[in-house]
């Protein structure tokens, strides 16, 4: 794709004298267009599937336009598409690297009342790739007046053919062109002044939606598979606009995707973040509430289509609600349409206002106020029950009593956080007469919490007799009546079990209650040693630094030969690590490939990649037999070009909702055939290119294939995948394994699941922990890793992301996870589930803001990457050796003797023994 640069310059009126210079000189700033003022009719111009003619000065004013010194003007008629207009081939008149300034006088006639956009565009035709289009400039015109359109461009490489054309107004609106100038300029060319107006670049205050409040009727709006109408009221006067005088409706909708739409191709710019706001509601007989969504339909120059959800809101038929969202386009699309959709067929979508503006930058975060924070201090009153049940109250009509016989030691994960601490009392709360699952002991803790601190939750729990099977026990919080998970455990015997979890509150609450709940009604619960305390992360980091030194570094001896100095006197050595070989990767999607800023950050700071969706079955075969590997191939090409290793995510997905409809409709035999075809097609096509595969994603949370194909289906997937590509390591992959908040995927259950697969002959080669985690606590994460580490398989964090509205807290969360990974011997790699704002599945999880600014979390990530590079310097000893301890990876060594300076590179691989590296100088 060609690079086109649009830039603004100094304020100046662009005239023919400016362009041609004094006395009409054409030595500099010469207009490269032929017949620029239509004095020779339409000669040298080409009509793009429309009609046109020239009105001369002698004809007098027509179409309400004045005639002035410019004389003739062209009228472009019978336009059925916005892109139809007037064009001229300028291939032979431009050169690479030069800047060209464009100025035109344009107008419109015919069609509806109101403003119409006119745009100057370059069409770049290539021999071996798709045609691309670039907006040079645009202006908004109304009838009866001429407007100036200005812009600039430069090309970094030369395409096969370059076409300049004017386009833009809606169909049936006539395009009027009085004159067009394109002139080359350079930095020392003072005879041509750069235009002020950059027509295609949005400012923060400019709305790229035309007629956003329908003051100009329905101009610039149309129906997407439905009809649209303008209203000042509806429903016998009960529905009135909340803003302005009018609102529009999308009516006679027969599909959920029908709605009101507007094309914004010429006005939306790549790599700029936009904010969407709209006032919407619904109207219909049988639907009172429904999701309303704003969606972008984007067509690339190669005709590839993409649908991007940019905002949504739950709308009602009672009142207007505000919809908000953000988006960014990575590439240079040939067409962009924004539309509203969502409610079921027969329900009208009403819209009062619709705005899309350049998104204001989010104010930078400030570090959370930790002054006076009492780390490690339990905020639970009467935790040891020395005063009976004082401080506790029953939630519901259950009964609380004090029992005995509970553990006298803190649960292990709490001990790891607190260090030396008092023993427990051996007393517990006995909860009886429970008639609902939510009943249990409760305590108010509102005034004891501090915003943005991470709190660890710990307790011993046990259930009484009478349960019909395993029971979940949950330490829960009610934060302004919203449930927050503080940790849970499955209990199925008469033993005491540890609960470990965490939480954080980032918005000031009015009421916070902690309570223990979960087992079925009639099942007694015993609770002991409940602890909730703020975590001192810095203390944990100190410990992890020491552990990382032990786990990730190796003793290295550089043995030099060829030194000429007597006893090597004065020979200096400087060792610098160039790259740590610990795998650190990220999720990437096809659209990201079009954003060079994203790609630059990605290839510079990551050495592994995983595809967000492009390798999933529903993406590669959305309809049976219709395969799409183009998106995956594009990402793969980028990774291979930059020597980035790849994980294949994923071959199958066991959760029903993520299986495409045509697969769900297959009978057992046809499904078995489709599964085999999927395995053969994918692993044969990419044999040897993906180092890992997640074979059947999230088996702890779904059972689609197992339910339909039998208990051996999962193991058979692993076996077949291994046969087709023996070089790939085959992973299990699941979520909520490491945070104590989901009993379905606890470390114990995950371990048992892997053992069962292995017993069935599945060649499981790696354990994937997704790592979509909130308020991580090191000892809880480490405990899960310890339990899984007993299997002896490599463990990866495969989809790591952390989320906080405060960038400093987000940075701390990320540091917790990365340091735990680096310090644990069972972890072999970390994959982030994205890093760029607006291209992550979770909000407030990004390291880089939408327009490329690195935030505090991103800075922390880069600082850790630097910390995990080893550097050393000193003198060669009498034996010609230099020793140091360093991380595995690639190094540069510089040797300085009395007479010369020599540089060499070497690699430190994993190993327990000292590594001797011989270097011949």
Q: Give the residue numbers marked as catalytic.
A: 799
- Taking each helix axis from N to C end, the angle separating 537-552 and 807-823, rounded to the nearest 10 degrees, works out to 30
CA atoms of 898 and 566, how far apart (whole Å): 11
Cβ 311 vs Cβ 209: under 8 Å: no
Q: Is the dihedral of CA 649, 652, 656, 657 positive or negative?
A: positive
* DSSP state letters, 490-559: EE-SSS-EEEEEEEE--S--S-EEEEEE-SPTT--EEEEEEEEEE--HHHHHHHHHHHHHHHHEEEEEEE
CA atoms of 503 and 488, how far apart (whole Å): 13
Strand partners, 573: 874, 895
- Please state the φ and ψ torsions of residue 19, each to the nearest 5 degrees: -75, -45
- Please state the φ and ψ torsions of residue 481, each to the nearest 5 degrees: 70, 10
Q: Position of tokens 């998970």?
A: 485
Question: Mapping DSSP to helix (H, G, I), strand (E, B) and coil, where does residue 25 land?
Answer: coil
Q: Write the CA distances from 233 to 636, 748, 844, integer angstroms.
A: 54, 61, 39
- Please state the φ and ψ torsions of residue 189, each to the nearest 5 degrees: -95, 100
Strand partners, 682: none
CA atoms of 327 and 847, how far apart (whole Å): 17
What are the strands, taking DSSP E only, across 46-202? 46-47, 51-55, 73-77, 86-89, 99-109, 116-125, 132-141, 147-153, 161-167, 174-185
What are the strands, taking DSSP E only, across 303-379? 305-316, 321-328, 335-341, 348-358
CA atoms of 455 and 486, how far apart (whole Å): 9
Question: Mapping DSSP to helix (H, G, I), strand (E, B) and coil, where does residue 726 land?
Answer: coil
Cβ partners under 8 Å of residue 465, min gap 6: 494, 524
Task: Report the b/e string of 75-87 with b at 16+ CB within 10 A.
Answer: bbbebeebbbbbb
Q: Would you call 225 exposed, middle or buried from its count of C-beta atoms within 10 A (0-12, 13-18, 19+)?
A: middle
* DSSP state letters, 282-319: EE-SS-SEEEEEEEEEEE-TT--EEEEEEEEEEEESSS
CA atoms of 349 and 351, how far apart (whole Å): 7
CA atoms of 654 and 636, how far apart (whole Å): 25
- Please state the φ and ψ torsions of residue 456, each to the nearest 5 degrees: -95, 140
Sequence length of the chain is 921
Q: Write the CA distances from 406 to 193, 425, 428, 515, 517, integer angstroms.
A: 85, 8, 6, 19, 18
Cβ 377 vs Cβ 455: under 8 Å: no
CA atoms of 257 and 247, how far apart (whole Å): 20
Per DSSP, helices labelled H in 607-667 are: 617-620, 630-641, 661-664
Q: Position of tokens 């922990």?
A: 769
Q: Write the CA distances from 451 to 537, 775, 807, 848, integer angstroms.
A: 15, 12, 14, 24
Task: Round the CA-based radius of gyration of the chain to a whole number and report it.
Answer: 34
**In whole angstroms, what separates CA 374 from the centre of its chain?**
36
């Amino acid at each position: 794709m060609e690079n086109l640069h649009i830039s603004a310059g100094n304020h100046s009126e662009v005239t023919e004298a400016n362009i041609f210079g004094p006395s009409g000189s054409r030595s500099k700033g010469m207009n490269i267009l032929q017949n620029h003022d239509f004095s020779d009719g339409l000669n040298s111009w080409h009509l793009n599937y429309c009609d046109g003619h020239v009105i001369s000065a002698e004809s007098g004013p027509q179409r309400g336009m004045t005639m002035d010194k410019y004389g003739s003007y062209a009228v472009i008629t019978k336009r059925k598409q916005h892109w139809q207009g007037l064009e001229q081939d300028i291939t032979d008149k431009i050169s690479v690297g030069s800047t060209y300034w464009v100025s035109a006088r344009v107008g419109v006639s015919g069609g509806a009342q109101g403003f119409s956009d006119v745009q100057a565009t370059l069409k770049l035709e290539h021999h071996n790739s798709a045609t691309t289009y670039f907006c040079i400039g645009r202006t908004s015109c109304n009838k009866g007046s001429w407007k100036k359109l200005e812009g600039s461009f430069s090309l970094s490489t030369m395409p096969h053919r370059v076409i300049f054309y004017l386009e833009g107004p809606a169909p049936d609106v006539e395009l009027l062109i009085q004159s067009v100038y394109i002139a080359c300029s350079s930095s020392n060319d003072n005879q041509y002044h750069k235009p002020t107006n950059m027509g295609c670049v949005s400012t923060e205050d400019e709305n790229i939606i035309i007629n956003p409040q329908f003051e100009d009727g329905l101009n610039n709006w149309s129906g997407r598979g439905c009809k649209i109408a303008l209203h000042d009221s509806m429903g016998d006067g009960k529905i009135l606009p909340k803003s302005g005088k009018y609102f529009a409706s999308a009516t006679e909708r027969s599909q959920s995707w029908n709605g009101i739409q507007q094309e914004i191709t010429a006005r939306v710019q790549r790599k700029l973040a936009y904010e969407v706001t709209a006032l919407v509601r619904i109207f219909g007989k049988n639907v009172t509430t429904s999701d309303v969504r704003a969606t972008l339909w984007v067509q690339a120059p190669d005709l590839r289509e993409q649908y991007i959800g940019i905002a949504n809101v739950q709308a009602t038929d009672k009142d207007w609600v505000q919809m908000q969202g953000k988006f960014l386009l990575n590439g240079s699309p040939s067409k962009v349409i924004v539309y509203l959709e969502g409610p079921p067929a027969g329900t009208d979508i009403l819209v009062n206002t619709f705005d899309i503006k350049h998104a204001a930058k989010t104010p930078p975060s400030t570090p959370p106020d930790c002054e006076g924070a009492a780390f490690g201090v339990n905020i639970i009153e009467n935790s040891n029950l020395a005063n009976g049940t004082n401080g506790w109250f029953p939630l519901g009509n259950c009964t609380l009593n004090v029992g005995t016989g509970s553990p006298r030691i803190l649960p292990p994960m709490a001990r790891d956080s607190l260090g030396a601490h008092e023993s427990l009392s051996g007393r517990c709360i006995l909860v009886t007469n429970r008639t609902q699952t939510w009943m249990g002991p409760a305590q108010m803790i509102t005034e004891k919490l501090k915003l943005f601190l991470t709190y660890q939750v710990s307790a011993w729990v046990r259930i009484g007799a009478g349960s019909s099977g395993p029971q979940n026990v949950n330490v829960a919080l009610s934060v302004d009546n919203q449930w927050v998970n503080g940790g849970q455990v499955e209990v199925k015997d008469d033993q005491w079990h540890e609960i470990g979890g965490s939480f954080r509150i980032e918005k000031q609450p009015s009421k916070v209650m902690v309570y223990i709940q979960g087992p079925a009604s009639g099942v007694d619960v015993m609770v002991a040693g409940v602890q909730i305390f703020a975590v001192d992360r810095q203390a944990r980091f100190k410990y992890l630094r020491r552990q990382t030194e032990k786990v990730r570094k190796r003793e290295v001896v550089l043995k030099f030969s060829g030194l000429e100095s007597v006893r090597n006197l004065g020979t200096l050595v400087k060792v610098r690590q160039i790259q740590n070989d610990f795998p650190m990767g990220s999720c990437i999607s096809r659209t990201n490939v079009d954003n060079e800023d994203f790609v630059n950050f990605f290839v510079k700071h990551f050495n592994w990649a995983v595809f967000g969706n492009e390798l999933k079955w529903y993406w590669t075969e959305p309809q049976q037999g219709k395969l799409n590997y183009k998106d995956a191939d594009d990402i793969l090409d980028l990774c291979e070009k930059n020597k980035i290793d790849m994980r294949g995510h994923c071959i199958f997905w066991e959760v029903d909702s993520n299986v495409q409809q045509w697969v769900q409709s297959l009978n057992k035999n046809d499904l078995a055939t489709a599964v085999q075809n999927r395995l053969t097609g994918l692993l044969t096509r990419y044999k040897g290119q993906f180092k890992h595969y997640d074979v059947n994603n999230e088996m702890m949370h779904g059972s689609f294939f197992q339910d339909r194909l039998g208990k051996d289906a999962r193991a058979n997937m692993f076996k077949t995948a291994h046969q087709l590509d023996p070089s790939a390591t085959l992973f299990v992959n699941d979520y909520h394994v490491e945070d104590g908040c989901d009993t379905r995927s606890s470390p114990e259950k995950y371990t048992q699941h892997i053992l069962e697969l292995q017993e069935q002959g599945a060649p499981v080669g790696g354990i994937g922990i997704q790592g979509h985690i909130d308020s991580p606590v090191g000892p809880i994460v480490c405990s899960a890793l310890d339990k899984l580490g007993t299997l002896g398989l490599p463990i990866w964090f495969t989809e790591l992301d952390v989320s906080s509205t405060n960038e400093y807290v987000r940075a701390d969360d990320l540091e917790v996870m990365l340091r735990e990974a680096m310090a644990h011997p069972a972890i072999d790699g970390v994959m982030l589930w994205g890093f760029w704002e607006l291209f992550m599945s979770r909000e407030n999880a990004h390291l880089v803001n939408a327009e490329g600014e690195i935030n505090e979390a991103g800075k922390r990530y880069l600082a850790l990457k630097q910390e995990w590079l080893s550097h050393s310097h000193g003198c060669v000893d009498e034996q010609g050796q230099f020793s140091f301890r360093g991380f595995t990876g690639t190094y540069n060594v510089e040797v300085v003797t009395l007479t010369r300076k020599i540089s060499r590179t070497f690699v430190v691989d994993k190993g327990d023994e000292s590594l001797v590296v011989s270097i011949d100088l």
